[in-house]
Amino acid sequence: MSFAEIAALTLHDVKNRLAKLAGRAEARGDVDTLRETIEASNTLTRLLTYYRSDVGSLTLDIDAHAPADLAAEFVEDAIVQGGCPVDLDCSQAPTLWFYDEAVVRMVLANAVHNAGRHARARIVIEVAERGGFLEFLVRDDGNGYRQEVLEDVTGAATPVTRNGTGLGLRLARRIAEMHENAGQQGEIRLENAGGAVFRLLLPK
């Protein structure tokens, strides 16, 4: 068994232990510990998913989904967890779109989490069909992305935060690009407009 395979199995084991810790924290009403435990588990999930994509074992499960329903989950989570308020605009969202909901949810969860860390007062999520693409937009009202992040168009070298690893953005770009159809490929776009703006675009 290779080191990479051992590492993958270890990640699974640690995730299971974190799930037990999260259950105990929830049972005793320890919201802070629950939130941190869930985020640690999510980080391990992203790492494992990135590993699978790196070795070619990650395949997408493309099916028809309601993007507005997916976005609404993050509004509900914010209410339950008492986090930063989230405004949702799905007025231009298509009824259905074809994508892998599990990995797209992972990408958006990380984007919303980062927005919550930097927002001053609110987060905005928009879902719309634009130019033949489904666009999920996550915007905060914080200080925006650092210039070096915006200039690193590949997302391969610059983490979003100074003490970060860049794993979330690397994985987001890889998952977006794995969504291909009729010669079109998904992508991630970052910009500053009254705060940080994260866009996930998925082809029709």
Is it the case that residue 4 has pLDDT exceeding 90?
Answer: no
Q: Is the sign of the CA dihedral 53, 58, 60, 66 positive or negative?
A: negative
Give the relative orientation of helices 167-178 and 31-54 as an angle to the nearest 10 degrees.
50
**Smallest Cα–Cα separation from 202: which of 100, 73, 89?**
100
Instruction: State the pLDDT at residue 183.
Output: 93
* Separation CA 141–CA 147 (nearest Å): 17
Asked whether residue 83 falls in the same domain as residue 110, the answer is yes
Q: Which residue has the tokens 């070298």?
A: 157
Asked whether residue 93 falls in the same domain as residue 130, the answer is yes
Q: Please indicate whether residue 161 or residue 34 has the higher confidence score (pLDDT).
A: 34
Inter-residue contact 181 to 203 (CB < 8 Å): yes
Question: pLDDT of 87-138, one tens digit each?
Answer: 999 999 999 999 999 999 999 999 998 999 899 999 999 999 999 999 999 9
Asked whether residue 48 falls in the same domain as residue 81, the answer is no
**Smallest Cα–Cα separation from 195: which of 128, 125, 123?**
123
Question: pLDDT of 35-50, one tens digit each?
Answer: 788 888 888 888 889 8
Write out the residue range of the structural domain in which residue 26 sits: 3-54
Question: pLDDT of 132-178, one tens digit each?
Answer: 999 999 999 999 999 888 887 655 555 666 556 788 899 999 999 99
Query: Any idea what the CATH number is for the domain that residue 79 is in?
Result: 3.30.565.10
Residue 105 has which token pair?
């949810």
What does pTM read for this prediction? 0.85
Asked whether residue 72 falls in the same domain as residue 8, the answer is no
